[in-house]
Amino acid sequence: MQSRERLLEIESQLSKPGAWDKPEELTPVLREKSAVEFRLGMYDALSQARQNALEWLELAQEDQSQEALEALAENLTALQTRLGDTELAILLNGPDDNSPAILEIHPGAGGVDAQDWAEMLLRMYLRWAESRSFQVDELDRLYGEEAGIKSVTLQINGPYAYGLLKGEAGIHRLIRISPFDASGRRHTAFASVDVYPDIDTNIEIDVREEDLRIDVFRASGPGGQHVNRTNSAVRITHLPTNIVVQCQNEKSQLKNKAFAMKVLKARLYERELKALEASKKADYASKDAIAFGSQIRTYTLQPYRLVKDHRSGYEDSAVDAVLDGRLDDFLRSTLLRVHEERKGGNG
């Protein structure tokens, strides 16, 4: 099997003397190793689930007891889940799909409700990442004055993190009875999600010093409390594109600058990819205002409970479970939609 042979080659390469002398150069190799192991794990789990289902089917044909039939049903469900996971893995074949993801959330129309909604989305993605044992580093967070957040930037590391999350980019709408409205009226709030691949350091992105404006300031927490007393937070403005990134998570100004440059390069890289694909339909390259008519997904809490993706048509009435991180079915439906569109475009 080619994947197993490739894994052996990578392990042999990593075990050679001096292989770890320059660990930063091993990033692409380690990322490929993670991807191969992920796919092999998918294949092995699917093969085992199929074998278990066949064994229980054979047993149930001989012994049609309630216990055997329940075990068969349980194993068929497990097989169906593994088939879904494998289908998802097959769809993740983009050049950057196995990269870590940089995910940003910004509130839109809706005032304090939108800031609260942005924080709810943050929790949703954190819980989803936790369910997959992905590592999440918070690069920057600006708190709202009354509640919620004004913005947040996350770095999410795990197998195919970018490939899984790239379809989340766009406008997310929330409909609910506002906890900030004393009259108990229903409110609509919006927040935008942007997702970029955290590119390898060996990909050259032309960023000239004269094109940057770098500002330093004090990092602040909820209620304006300062995280530290030094100007450690860094904001970088790329003047030609007016892209602004910032980082205040670290106490070191140098570390914050390094993280901010990483985010800037990822955004510039994504911008170049979108420019190359200008002839194709982009999900959010020319993003509308963060308001009515531009949402990719609606989360309705009142008068009924439903989460609906407006691109794929997929729906889930278990709103609480979705907001608690159960996103895989939505991710799969979006990837399938994109796959079908590409097939149609090539036909």
List the chain pLDDT tens, one digit each, 347 residues. Answer: 578 888 888 888 888 888 888 877 787 788 788 878 878 888 888 999 999 999 999 888 888 888 888 899 999 999 988 888 788 778 887 878 888 999 999 999 778 999 999 999 999 999 999 999 999 999 889 999 889 999 999 999 988 899 999 999 999 999 999 998 888 788 999 999 999 998 765 456 778 888 999 998 877 665 444 455 577 889 999 999 999 999 988 888 888 988 888 888 888 888 877 776 554 444 434 444 565 557 899 999 999 999 999 999 999 999 999 999 999 999 999 998 887 777 666 55
Instruction: Break the chain into its structural domains and give their ranges.
Output: 2-91, 101-198+292-346, 209-276
Task: Report d(CA 46, CA 117) in Å as an integer.
Answer: 37
Give residue 305's pLDDT. 97
What's CA 1's distance to the chain center, in Å? Answer: 30
Q: What angle do CA 36, 40, 44 make, to 5 degrees?
A: 175
Task: Report d(CA 107, CA 57) in Å as an integer.
Answer: 51
Q: How far is CA 13 from CA 6, 22, 38, 87, 189, in A?
A: 11, 13, 19, 30, 51
Give residue 288's pLDDT. 46
The sheet with strand 101-107 has its strands ordered as: 135-143, 149-157, 101-107, 186-197, 170-177, 295-300, 306-309, 315-316
Give residue 221's pLDDT. 64
Token pair belonging to 212: 């940057």
**Which fold, 2-91?**
Methane Monooxygenase Hydroxylase; Chain G, domain 1 (1.20.58)
Give residue 287's pLDDT. 45
Integer-rounded Cα Rg, in Å, for the chain is 23
Give residue 87's pLDDT. 80
Task: Report d(CA 288, CA 292) in Å as an integer.
Answer: 9
Q: What angle do CA 139, 253, 138 make, to 5 degrees?
A: 10
- Are the C-beta atoms of 169 and 334 separated by less than 8 Å? no
Give residue 34's pLDDT. 80
What's CA 292's distance to the chain center, in Å? Answer: 23
How do 295-300 and 170-177 pair as beta strands? parallel
Q: What type of residue is 144?
A: G
Task: Report d(CA 113, CA 110) in Å as an integer.
Answer: 5
Give residue 280's pLDDT. 40
**Which fold, 101-198+292-346?**
Alpha-Beta Plaits (3.30.70)
Give residue 13's pLDDT. 86
Cα atoms in the Cβ-side hemisphere of radius 13 Å centred on 211: 14
Give residue 285's pLDDT. 40
How do 233-238 and 149-157 pair as beta strands? unpaired
Residue 184 CB neighbours (<10 A): 8
Give residue 229's pLDDT. 58
DSSP 285-345: TT---SSTT-EEEEEE-SSS-EEEETTT--EES-HHHHHTT--HHHHHHHHHHHHHHHHHH
**Which fold, 209-276?**
Double Stranded RNA Binding Domain (3.30.160)
Mention every residue, 6+ apart, whose C-beta is less than 8 A from residue 214.
Answer: 234, 235, 236, 237, 257
CA nearest neighbour of 299 among 331, 323, 326, 264: 323
